[in-house]
């Protein structure tokens, strides 16, 4: 039940459609547990793929909303002292 020699692109296991039909529920459980996909063939040709379900990836926007805290006013301009300190350190940056 491994990948056939003439189908190098088939990942993992291959199984005939007739065997898949007889064992589909058991095979679904195996795929969910192992994470390995199964290629289903008909007349020796790949026609379908049974693979584990992976949920939709989270959007990057808002991903860390529970991990980041904003302290103070982020809209108010920086105090003048901050700019004075930055002028003294400007040469150190490059």
Taking alpha carbons only, the member of 44, 33, 37 closest to residue 5 is 44
Going along the chain from its start, the domains and CATH numbers come out as 13-50 (3.40.1620.10)
Global pTM? 0.49
pLDDT in tens, the chain (94 residues): 444 434 444 457 999 999 999 999 999 999 999 999 999 999 999 999 999 998 777 677 877 778 888 887 888 887 777 777 666 655 555 4
Q: Rounded CA gap, 86 and 79, in Å?
A: 11
Q: Which two tokens stand for residue 72?
A: 């103070």
């Amino acid at each position: 039940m491994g990948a056939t020699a003439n189908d190098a692109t088939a990942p993992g296991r291959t199984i005939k459609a007739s065997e898949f039909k007889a064992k589909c529920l058991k095979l679904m459980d195996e795929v969910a547990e192992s994470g390995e996909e199964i290629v289903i063939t008909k007349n020796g040709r790949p026609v379908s793929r049974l693979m584990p379900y992976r949920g939709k990836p989270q959007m990057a926007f808002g991903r860390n909303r529970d991990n980041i805290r904003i302290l103070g006013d982020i809209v108010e301009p920086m105090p003048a002292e901050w700019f004075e300190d930055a002028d003294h350190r400007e040469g150190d940056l490059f």
